[in-house]
A and B are shown apart, each in its own frame.
Chain A
Amino acid sequence: MEGLNIPLNHILLVSTLLFSIGMLGLMIRRNIIFILMSLEVMLNAAALAFVAAGAHWGQPDGQIIFMLILTVAAAEVAVGLGLVLQVQRRFKTLDMDSADRMRG
């Protein structure tokens, strides 16, 4: 294959970085919209890893899984945003720490 040839390790590093950023965001953000965005980032990090691995070994599976992740992400956002609206209506806030109703 001609052209730009990025080593797999580098792509995986980027993917790991993206995943970690997303996870960190998930753990420290309180706003539910940012939580959802962090989730998207994590999903895309995973998708990137799949695509890179598929390209590396010349297998189509990586791209098929990428399509699947794309679909899952879309579905997740659809449901997630619906929930966000509900949360906003019920609690008048998007801060998830102040919206906890469970007491052990």
Chain B
Amino acid sequence: MVDMIWLVPLIPLLSSILLMLGSATLPRVLIGLLGVCSVGAAAVLTLLVGLEFLANPQPFQLTLWTWMQVGDFSPGIAFYFDGLTLVMMSVITGVGFLIHLFSTEFMEEDASYARYFAYLNMFVAAMLMLVMAENLLLLYLGWEGVGVCSYLLVGFWYQNSANGQAARKAFVVTRIGDTAMALGLLLLFTELGTLDIQAMMGAADQQWQVGDRLPLIACLLLLGGAVGKSAQLPLHTWLPDAMAGPTPVSALIHAATMVTAGVYLIARTNGLFLLAPTAMMIVALVGLATLLMAAFTALMQSDIKRILAYSTISQIGYMFLALGVGAWTAGIFHLMTHAFFKALLFLGSGAIIHYLHHEHDIFKMGGLRSKMPVTFWSFMIGSAALAALPMTSGFFSKDQILLQAYMLPEAGPWLWLGGLLGALLTAIYSFRLVFVVFFGEAKTQPDGDTGWRMALPLVLLCGLAMVGGYFIIPVAEVFPAASTEHPAHWVEYVSISVPLIGLLLSYLIFHSGQLNVDRLVNSSLGQSLRRFWFSGWGIDWLYDRVFVRPYYRLSGTMLNEPIDAIYGLIVAINQTFNHWLAVSQTGRIRWYVASMVFGLILVLTLALQIPAEAL
């Protein structure tokens, strides 16, 4: 059975090709069936392979053929399967299947139904390739593949040029990270002579000492790729704009799977990062800075999808924090639970947007609790998990991250405090969303509640978001064992109680109104902070001034070809003289004679001025 894992990415890929070829001829029912069932089949296969693997947890490798043979370099189309791969594949195919099912209803009236599913299936195939790849080159193929699919899907409604702009931004910004990653791959290959992940980590272990400069550089370059793909500081600006795509796309690509590829990459190459403690510290700090920045920003947004986008950035920040402090298992665990509850929240927001005529502003919603009960409960459970309220899935993963961060020597308690502040903000903004959208007075009338194809994924994801925390992910073999020490009990109690305090604050401010913050908000400092956070800490503004506009100006100058202008000047001078001479060619003999005579007189007069001795 395990030999069949190559079928898992192949089925969605074939389905994608079929959908592309038959987009004009296939009936809509068949398109939906093909799109959903191909991912469903991949999910079933993953389940079967996973069950067999769990019975006999031996990592194995499957080489299909040699991709290319250049000197000593012969990367194969080869898959590597272990606990980490299984977790990622389950998330991609499982959550992916639910989102595909949801999409059949969400995109029902869209003219480009087949194109949508073709892209979505291709994305699933590329993402599976990414997590199953045995060498970094194949991983890079999947990495770029998901980037292209993300670009295509963000700009799916390309008739609106703003969407195209957002797609281009997502593509270009992630490309900056990808370039760093490509450089990292080249460095690793020239130094270690192989890109096979397991062999490479073994070679690195032998050649390099902990704290050497080369592993640090290699890790930082890989981190560059991860930061771009996972929307961390300073390359996070594309993710909020990527919300221009259809909402199920945001759920699949920009919440559950693709944006966590950076986390996967770092976890997969953990052997390298362990050789570079400085790089690990940078990972942790990037994660902490991002999670705080994004949490403050999410608190100010009014667009439902942007709130979720910033919360995604923030949660991936937690994963980076976990990786940075060496809590590999906790990071991957949070990746999985985050995929459940964030997909749930995004699909819920998709249902709201679908039935409220594409309304995105949360302050124009309100009182939807009784009108859309399924969506309401989805949001309740999703927000509870996002805020890490006790007994939800998010609680188990985030709690592990915070406690293990606390155990890090020296910087640990500070990282823990930062994470706690983030957790408090998370609870406030996620329940702010719930209170504003679902409680209060009704401002709009939805067209109805979700049909079964929307409701079923929501209900299933609700279940996963609740019980996902009890799963035990089989990654013990993949990562070095974490320390078994436990921090003092008060640390645990504080970690548990902070989200509850956040929930209480959110309730008092946004629902009951007992805590009035108007004076704080309306003070001049409050206003300017509000604007600053609303704009995402002015980072977009800064990039616009520092990179985008100078680039536009430079290309504007180059468009007029300044070098050519020199040659243009020579041409212009020649043409002017030519024009003057041409004007004198009148064809009138008397003019010619007169000018000859006067010219002659002039020349003779001048010649007579010259003294005879000089001649």
Contacts and interface: CB of A to CB of B under 8 A. Distances in A.
A33 interface: no
Contact of B590 (A97, A102, A103, A104): A97
B583 A27 contact: no
Main secondary structure of the interface of A (DSSP, over half): loop
Interface in B558-610: 582-590, 593-594, 597
Interface in A6-49: 23, 26-28, 30, 35
Q: Give the interface size class of chain B.
A: 10 to 19
A101 interface: yes
Contact of A97 (B588, B593, B594): B588
Nearest to B598: A27
Nearest to A100: B587
A100 B586 CA distance: 7
A30 B590 CA distance: 8
Contact of A96 (B583, B585, B589): B589
A11 B108 CA distance: 114
Contacts of A96: 588-590
Contact of B587 (A26, A27, A35, A102): A102
Contacts of B585: 102, 104
Residue with the greatest number of chain B CB neighbours at <10 A, chosen from A27, A30, A96? A27
Interface in A47-104: 96-97, 100-104
Contacts of B589: 35, 96
Interface in B162-203: none
Contacts of A100: 586-588
Contacts of B590: 26-28, 30, 96-97
Contacts of A103: 587
B597 A104 contact: no
A27 B597 contact: yes
Nearest to A32: B589
B593 A102 contact: no
A20 to B, nearest CB: 10
A35 B592 CA distance: 13
A103 to B, nearest CB: 8
Nearest to A35: B589
B597 A102 contact: no
Given A26-B593, A27-B593, A27-B597, A104 B588 contact: no
A30 B589 CA distance: 9
A28 B589 CA distance: 10
B587 A101 contact: yes
Nearest to B579: A104
A64 to B, nearest CB: 26
A94 B129 CA distance: 93
Nearest to A30: B590
A76 to B, nearest CB: 15
Given A28-B590, A97-B588, A23 B583 contact: no
Contacts of B584: 104
A27 B601 CA distance: 15
A26 B593 CA distance: 7
B365 to A, nearest CB: 76
Contacts of B582: 104
A25 B596 CA distance: 14
A51 B216 CA distance: 105
Interface in B222-280: none
B588 A27 contact: no
B595 to A, nearest CB: 10
Contacts of B586: 100, 102, 104
A100 B588 CA distance: 6
Contacts of B583: 104
A96 B588 CA distance: 7
Contacts of B593: 23, 26-27
Most buried by B among A96, A97, A104: A104
Contacts of B587: 100-103
A38 B221 CA distance: 92
B360 to A, nearest CB: 67
A23 B596 CA distance: 11
Contact of B597 (A23, A30, A35, A97): A23
B264 to A, nearest CB: 76
Nearest to A38: B593
A88 to B, nearest CB: 16
B590 to A, nearest CB: 6
A101 B587 CA distance: 6
Contacts of A104: 582-586
Nearest to A102: B587
A48 to B, nearest CB: 20
Interface string B8-36: 00000000000000000000000000000
A39 to B, nearest CB: 10
A23 B585 CA distance: 21
Contacts of A30: 590
A102 B594 CA distance: 17
A16 B594 CA distance: 17
Contacts of A102: 585-587
A91 B462 CA distance: 101
Nearest to B583: A104
Nearest to B582: A104
A5 B590 CA distance: 39
B58 to A, nearest CB: 93
B594 to A, nearest CB: 5
Q: Name the residue in B582, B584, B588 with the highest tally of chain A Cβ atoms < 10 Å from its Cβ.
A: B588
A30 B594 CA distance: 13
Given A27-B594, A102-B585, A104-B582, 8 more contacts: A26-B590, A28-B590, A30-B590, A35-B589, A97-B590, A101-B587, A103-B587, A104-B585
12 contacts: A23-B597, A26-B590, A27-B594, A27-B597, A28-B590, A30-B590, A35-B589, A96-B589, A100-B588, A102-B585, A102-B586, A104-B586
Interface of B: 582-590, 593-594, 597
Instruction: List the 3 closest pairs (A to B, CB-CB), nearest first.
Output: A102-B587, A100-B587, A104-B582
Interface of A: 23, 26-28, 30, 35, 96-97, 100-104
